[in-house]
Amino acid sequence: MTASLVVVGNGMVGHRLVSSVRERDRAGRWRVEVFGEERRPAYDRVALTSYVDTWDDSALLLAGHDPDVTVHLGDPVVAIDRAARTVTSASGLVREYDALVLATGSSPFVPPVPGHDLPGCHVYRTLDDLDGIREYAARVPHGRRAALVVGGGLLGLEAAKALRDLGLSPHVVELAPWLMPLQVDEGGGALLRRLITALDVTVHAGTGTTAIERDRGRLLARLGNGTELDVDLVVFAAGIRPRDALARAAGLDLGERGGVLVDEACRTADPHVWAVGECACVGGRVHGLVAPGYAMAEVVADRLLGGAATFTVADTATKLKLLGVDVASFGDAHARAEGALEVVLNDAVAGSYKKLVLSDDASTLLGGVLVGDASAYAALAPMVGRPLPGDPAALLAPAGETLGAGALPPDAQVCSCQAVTRAAVDGAIAEGCADVPALKACTRAGTGCGSCVPMLRQLLASAGVAQSSALCEHFTHSRVALFEIVRSTGIRTFSELVARYGRGRGCDLCKPAVASMLASLGGHVLDREQVALQDTNDQFLANIQRNGTYSVVPRIPGGEITPHKLMVIAEVARDFDLYTKITGGQRIDLFGATVEDLPAIWRRLVDAGFESGHAYGKALRTVKSCVGSTWCRYGVQDSVRLAIELELRYRGLRSPHKLKAGVSGCARECAEARSKDFGVIATEHGWNLYVAGNGGFSPRHARLLASDVDTETLVRLIDRFLIFYVRTADRLQRTAAWVEAMDGGLDHLRAVIVDDTLGICADLEEAMTAHVGSYADEWRGVLEDPEKLARFTSFVNAPGTPDPTVAFREERGQRVPVSLGVPQVSAR
């Protein structure tokens, strides 16, 4: 006889429970019915912040259940009658049950701060919450748009990223002395703060929010340390509370701090009622991560079908990318075990903090913290509680020992979210799983947070399975292959490319990569649907600044400028009251332009003969030069002339990453050519060409590719180098990393573009000739197109109206944003 299973809650854990029951229930013992509060089907809440990238919820939806499962969406259970063994839903449905599983999850904790319920105050928990935040943010004028996030934990930093992606400047307030206090220690928290602050997120740690008030159309947030912040929107992400009201009303026992009290089988005192996930209190603790919830779901599914599984120690290992910063913790991250030893490598220059926690005899790995560089997580996390696999200092050092897949014993958990062991993965590979998607489908490994995917690739490689070079899950092709497809087919839109050669709707990996390819092959970056693929800077052909204004950088090839053009820049800066700065790349940057000012500024500059300097794009930025033989007594070649020729030749060339170049007139190297993607140094007999250098986070010296070549040969070699790079580099790969990853490295590159061993140099040169011949200034392209021009306004319903919230102060004779360099604090 079929029994009735009712599941209250349709989140990730409830969904996992139902899926596990259906997979195991071969005999059809259970008839399953699910009641969900949200209108949407179950979705991946771990990836909630990615919703901001596309506003397409279909990308987050979990796989649907089989037709035998009845799901009631938007109809939560409001009452449980344990005596009659029935539940009643909000719509009045009454259903009997033989087993009832509570998977009601949690609700956001909103501190009792006066003003927490004012318009503009939100929580960050569901897709509906994000929709509400987006709708409210859309009504906030461009310019000085600020937001406050109450809570500096995992959820708070996710919320800060979402707000920044919406064009607001986030302030994060955390009561603890450092960010993410549950996951990382003080040292890791200090580096995390520095890295996140560098991304224009202001952090206020060691203080709380005491009040929120309405103030002149905005919100005034008062902090416990006396700081007052003028913001437009507040998001509470200060933690969660188990949703146990339904259980309380039904007379079920609760934990001391809330949560439905359950035993190691996840069963309540009522033998017909179970609880899993964030609403359950097991062993006196409520778990707020998905991995323990999934483990509980598996336990209950096993018990419902006659098994004896128990919930033991929860795996709280976590690996995340927050605002682009890698953060991971595993095991006893805070070294709470008696006698625990710590090995720490804190590299402030490289921006990484790594700590391993060892047993008192230094023989066993107990836990660890990784911030900035979490590449070792996949190998280290499964080794917790096991003998230390190597010298701890060497394991943390950048060039030290690395743990390969071979170091993992069969029973080590590769995927903590889904509790998948190495043995299970090896078994799946032996049965024919030949890539990561196949392993995900077979074992579920990698379908949670995704941090174990690198280890899955290692296990595939160790088993002799060739690895996929797919750009992302939407394209089986690599970036290189996709570039060739676009080039040979003439496809000029993302939608056509994904329809013919991919699947789905795309993601934040493939969309900008394809946008770069399309731009590399001609066309305006704001043409048709291309605009939706671009980031903010490319959408407005200017660099957005921290207060919502933009900077304008006209091209000044070689740094050479006539007095007339110099006066035009001065007049534009004066008339639009712009902050003016000479950059390190021999250009003049004009800061503080509002979005509606941009076309007027461009018109003045274009009429004077200027054009876009592409300071916002993945394209050629500058070709820096010294004064060369024209003025310098040491100069042996005319470096200024060559720098101008090269910059005008390669301007507008879209590439996988930005490009910088330099030309020095002698070996004294005043143009710093050897720190550039391509650099030229004059010799008595011609030019030396250096390639694949860069400054930035990981500086690289460029290396010599050719010596004493004449100008014609030099230009031909650079043509080949750049087109070969554009065609064959991975997305966002600088030239230095591209050459380093190349089989044969610089020797192979020299063979291809100097010796023409592949016979492609004529094609590379032809492609550069086509680029030079088709170049058109992007600023002028906007000015000549009314449709593109209409995008440049702060208010769609009132074009031309300036943003009244943009504020400046004076510093050293120029105006700068109120928030530039200091927290945005009111003078009261």
711-728 and 745-753 helices, crossing angle to 10°:
120
Give me the residue label for tokens 């969406």. Answer: 73
Count of CB atoms situated within 10 Å of the CB of 346: 16
The answer on whether 670 is annotated among ligand-binding residues is yes
How many angstroms separate the first and last alpha carbons of the chain? 73
The answer on whether 472 is annotated among ligand-binding residues is no
Burial of 353 (C-beta count, 10 Å sphere; 0-12/13-18/19+):
buried
Pairing of strands 420-421, 413-415: antiparallel
Residue 537 lies in a domain: no
Shared domain for 462 and 562, answered yes or no, is: no
**The domain boundary residue, chosen from 776, 800, 820:** 776
Query: Given this model, what pLDDT does residue 18 score?
Result: 95
Distance, CA of 679 to CA of 612 (rounded, Å): 22
Query: Given this model, what pLDDT does residue 212 score?
Result: 96
Shared domain for 563 and 607, answered yes or no, is: yes
**The domain boundary residue, chosen from 304, 325, 358:** 304
E strand or H helix at 441, and its extent? Answer: helix 436-443
Query: Given this model, what pLDDT does residue 145 score?
Result: 82
The answer on whether 761 is annotated among ligand-binding residues is no
Shared domain for 607 and 618, answered yes or no, is: no
The answer on whether 632 is annotated among ligand-binding residues is yes
Q: What angle do CA 320, 322, 324 make, to 5 degrees?
A: 110
**Own/partner pairs for 469-472, CB < 8 Å, 24+ apart?**
471/509, 471/510, 471/513, 471/731, 472/507, 472/509, 472/510
Average pLDDT over residues 752-777: 93
pLDDT confidence bin for 821, thresholds 50/70/90: very low
Return the CATH number at 381.
Answer: 3.30.390.30
Residue 713 lies in a domain: yes
**Residues 443-486: pLDDT tens digits?**
888 776 666 777 887 888 778 776 667 788 788 888 888 888 88
Return the CATH number at 179.
Answer: 3.50.50.60
**Residues 429-454: pLDDT tens digits?**
888 888 777 888 888 887 766 667 77
Residue 530 lies in a domain: no
Residue 297 lies in a domain: yes
Average pLDDT over residues 96-108: 95
- The residue type found at 608 is A
Shared domain for 159 and 265, answered yes or no, is: no
Distance, CA of 415 to CA of 421 (rounded, Å): 7
Distance, CA of 730 to CA of 471 (rounded, Å): 8
Query: Given this model, what pLDDT does residue 803 score?
Result: 61
Shared domain for 664 and 757, answered yes or no, is: yes
Question: Cα–Cα distances in Å, from 477 out to 465, 498, 517?
Answer: 18, 11, 14
Residue 691 has pLDDT above 80, yes or no: yes
Shared domain for 147 and 264, answered yes or no, is: no
Average pLDDT over residues 537-561: 79
pLDDT confidence bin for 822, thresholds 50/70/90: very low
Here the tokens at position 792 are: 């440049």
- The residue type found at 353 is Y
Give me the residue label for tokens 């030949």. Answer: 434
Average pLDDT over residues 321-341: 85
Number of structural domains found in the chain: 7
Average pLDDT over residues 558-566: 87
Shared domain for 629 and 772, answered yes or no, is: yes
Shared domain for 497 and 633, answered yes or no, is: no
Count of CB atoms situated within 10 Å of the CB of 182: 14
Q: What percent of the chain has pLDDT over 70?
A: 92
Residue 528 lies in a domain: no
**The domain boundary residue, chosen from 200, 217, 237:** 237
Residue 164 lies in a domain: yes
Main-chain phi, psi angles of 146, to 5 degrees? -125, 150
Query: Given this model, what pLDDT does residue 799 score?
Result: 60
Shared domain for 592 and 700, answered yes or no, is: no
pLDDT confidence bin for 314, thresholds 50/70/90: low
- Print the domain residue range for 791: 544-612+781-828
Q: Are 712 and 688 in contact (CB under 8 A)?
A: no
Residue 378 has pLDDT above 80, yes or no: no
**Residues 20-30: pLDDT tens digits?**
999 899 888 99
**Residues 779-810: pLDDT tens digits?**
998 899 888 888 777 655 556 666 666 777 78
pLDDT confidence bin for 824, thresholds 50/70/90: very low
Average pLDDT over residues 737-764: 89
Residue 536 has pLDDT above 80, yes or no: no
510-520 and 494-501 helices, crossing angle to 10°:
110
Average pLDDT over residues 397-405: 58
Shared domain for 451 and 497, answered yes or no, is: no
- The residue type found at 110 is V
Shared domain for 24 and 164, answered yes or no, is: no
Which of 738, 707, 705, 745 lies closest to 724 in space, CA to CA? 738
Query: Given this model, what pLDDT does residue 825 score?
Result: 38
Query: Given this model, what pLDDT does residue 92 score?
Result: 96
Count of CB atoms situated within 10 Å of the CB of 444: 18
Query: Given this model, what pLDDT does residue 404 score?
Result: 59
Residue 816 lies in a domain: yes
Residue 226 lies in a domain: yes
**Residues 746-756: pLDDT tens digits?**
889 999 999 99
pLDDT confidence bin for 319, thresholds 50/70/90: confident
Shared domain for 230 and 135, answered yes or no, is: yes
Task: Provide the 8-state DSSP code for 465.
Answer: P
Query: Given this model, what pLDDT does residue 826 score?
Result: 36
**Residues 203-213: pLDDT tens digits?**
999 999 999 99
